[in-house]
Structure 1
Amino acid sequence: MSAIVEILVNEKLVDEQRIEQAMGLAIAAASRARRLSPPNPWVGAVVLSASGEVVGSGSTQAPGGSHAEVAALLEAGELARDGVLVVTLEPCNHQGRTPACTEQIIAAGISRVVVAIEDPDPLVAGSGIERLRSAGLQVSLGTRAAEVRDQLAPYLRQRVTGRAFCVVKTAMSLDARSVARDGTSQWITGPEARADAHNVRADSQAVIIGAGTALADSPSLNARDATPPATRQPARVLLDARGRVPATGPLFDQSIAATVVFTTDSADPGAIKAWREAGAVVEFVETQGSGVHLEQVLQVLSEKYGVLQAMVEGGAAMHAAFIEASLVDRLVAYVAPTFLGRDGRLAFDLDGPSTVMDASKWRITNTMLVGSDIRITLDPIVVAEELS
């Protein structure tokens, strides 16, 4: 290899290494916007100067604030000219609450844009990349794409399906029981696992429970022990098809967080009136079996309330209903090192398949020791494949 060729190869290698490293910084920046940006996606961006130095970084601000690309460009200033913009999600090409990011990228004099993944939102869907290329910018796609798809899974799934990304969370014993023989369930897992579950709440824009859980536990459903603290409390969502739950207790305390009740036309009118007088918003959906139509619930949360991720914290029957309806996008199970025995209640009250061959398939995406418990994260195979 000649000296000139070797120098060119090494420069190319250094250049791509810098791009990879910059995308890593952008991914880290995006993670800091996770609880701030919804209903917008949490995006990170980094600007490299013409000489390859990091001169700006940014992440999506609260709705109405700067997008990640603009925040990074503002920090870089004139050093962005002839530089490289590295961003986790395709820049927008439309006027919304803020001007189109593509136009601001072009105006900043950027020469190259490195994008991890395309934005499936119909308002974007490749148009951002097309606009940048038509303006003469070099655009590449796919750097660290798998990491970004995992980071943005709730947003991507919501944009594709039109419903909120559904995370079912459960805590259980080694023999898959969530309630002991005497009806007690507090606490199966330790304080570290419970604090971690509050982080999942803080990452969600809605927490869903059913009438049974509301009556048994009278929960607050707010994110209390999250690290960092929750920027905004998730909406508390009650599913009560018949009007069984009285409008009392922490669940209806609007100073804690907003409450939305999903019910049906068959609900007790007195209960509906009481819910509304307590400050809750009441939404009507169709009946499904003996309860509310679960897919409609997730669709309304997405379309009307801008919910990207909804966390389900009901009991065994509700968890089973979401699983059997193929609506679960992620399952988070905290498993405690204990046994509750055959008389304990199962964590999932499923009918189950007739044969092993018909069993649903899940992929374990993460395992983590949390205190004395294990957190297992699983995605249904179909969702895992669509996001890969």
Structure 2
Amino acid sequence: MAVTQAERRAMTRALALAVRGPRGINPQVGAVILSPAGDVLAEGWHRGAGTPHAEIDALSHLADGAGRGATAVVTLEPCNHTGRTGPCALALIDAGVSRVVYALDDPGAVSGGGTERLYAAGVEVEAGEQADAATALIADWLSAQRRGRPHITVKWAQSLDGRAAASDGTSQWITGPEARADVHRRRAIADAIVVGTGTVLADDPALTARDGDALHARQPVPVVIGSRETPADAAVRRHPHEPLFFDTHDLQAITRDLHARGIQSVFVEGGPTLASAFIAAGLADSILAYIAPVLLGGERLALTDIGVPTIDAAHRLTIDEWVPLGPDLLAIARSEDSKGVR
């Protein structure tokens, strides 16, 4: 049976409901329950770890027996496991729902499999409605699920000849105001912003996301990597979020720790040493290179050693977009081995 217009409208509404939920360990999910005639009976969304999933939240607004013969429209495949909450697939079956329309398959090895359980109970299932919109909504969560770590973006600004600073170390500002505003917009989207202690000691960055002189409503969690002590009066210690400090250079361990904290996306904005370390470790899923039409010369390259001894070992990238930003140019690229995983 094809997706009806009422179901399509319900999915659009479910996607809008999903964004009300917080980003974190669990995905943002919305659900709408429709009567056999296509009327909206109830709505719900997931409000965070440990709270009812979107389907359960929606069902909780129905009177006993009101779900019999209904259609559940959900942005993610109903789960099939018991964690802090019970299986959503079973709850829909017990409620008497006769049809489920969802956008995306659940990629979880444990949580997936809801469709099979629904089929076994005689529930009609339709998958893939507005899948692209649902993917965009929880892209970072999907990437984290598939990789077991956050999606990592490495950013730097450089001169046309590939330098991150002048010979005396000064780097403010290589790029113009349009490029810097773009960086702050992207910071506000990320769950965490990462720098090394070298950047903290040299530049004393606040690591906030700003909109002009004001702060964006959403701020990334500041993360500082390195063994050197961050001063008590450092600007990062006045960040709206308490900073996370990692006295280690084990990037794999750090990213696993961040993932366990519910951080889905990481914005690496340290200097050349840290950017190069993430790339060399195979932890750069996306690259943002802001290129300014200036020449600096000298040895202060935007990247240092990334483990490329010969041209055959080069890190091949796919350019997704070239974005003009005033006089500057932003290259948005991704690793070739990250195709299909975002």
TM-score with structure 1 setting the length: 0.73
- 2:112 match: secondary structure: coil
Q: Is 1:318–2:274 an aligned residue pair?
A: yes
- Relative to structure 1, is the Cα distance of residues 308 and 347 closer, same or farther in structure 2, using a 3 angstrom cutoff? same
Gaps (5+ residues) in structure 2? none
Q: Which amino acid aligns with 2:110?
A: L
Q: Distance in 1 between matches of 2:129 and 2:161?
A: 42
Matches within 5 A, 1:93-108: 93-108=80-95
Q: Is 1:302–2:259 an aligned residue pair?
A: yes
From 232, 240, 243, the counterpart of 1:259: 243
From 215, 239, 260, the counterpart of 2:225: 239
From 107, 121, 144, the counterpart of 1:120: 107
- Relative to structure 1, is the Cα distance of residues 351 and 333 closer, same or farther in structure 2, using a 3 angstrom cutoff? closer
Q: Is 1:170–2:138 an aligned residue pair?
A: no
Q: Distance in 1 between matches of 2:215 and 2:253?
A: 32
Q: CA deviation at 1:209?
A: 0.7
Q: Distance in 1 between matches of 2:48 and 2:237?
A: 26
Q: Is 1:250–2:235 an aligned residue pair?
A: yes
| Contact 1:180-1:340 within 8 A present in 2 as well | no
Matches within 5 A, 1:205-224: 205-224=191-210
Q: CA deviation at 1:369?
A: 4.7
Q: Is 1:61–2:47 an aligned residue pair?
A: yes
Q: CA deviation at 1:215?
A: 0.9
Q: Once the two structures are superposed, what CA deviation does each residue of 1:110-147 show, in whole Å capped at 9, x if it has no partner?
A: 32212222222333022x22332233211233334455
Q: Distance in 2 between matches of 1:108 and 1:90?
A: 17
- 1:180 match: secondary structure: coil
Q: Once the two structures are superposed, what CA deviation does each residue of 1:187-241 show, in whole Å capped at 9, x if it has no partner?
A: 33444443443343333332211121111111222334399721xx433211113
| Contact 1:50-1:81 within 8 A present in 2 as well | no
- 1:297 match: secondary structure: helix
- Relative to structure 1, is the Cα distance of residues 196 and 31 closer, same or farther in structure 2, using a 3 angstrom cutoff? farther
Q: CA deviation at 1:46?
A: 3.9
| Contact 2:316-2:336 within 8 A present in 1 as well | yes
From 153, 163, 172, the counterpart of 1:186: 172
Q: Could you tell me which residue of structure 2 aligns to residue 37 of structure 1?
A: 23
Gaps (5+ residues) in structure 1? 1-11, 265-291
Q: Could you tell me which residue of structure 2 aligns to residue 381 of structure 1?
A: 336
Q: Distance in 1 between matches of 2:318 and 2:87?
A: 38
TM-score with structure 2 setting the length: 0.82
| Contact 1:50-1:80 within 8 A present in 2 as well | no
How many pairs does the alignment contain?
339
Q: Distance in 2 between matches of 1:370 and 1:55?
A: 47
Over the matched positions of the two proteins, sequence identity in percent amounts to: 40
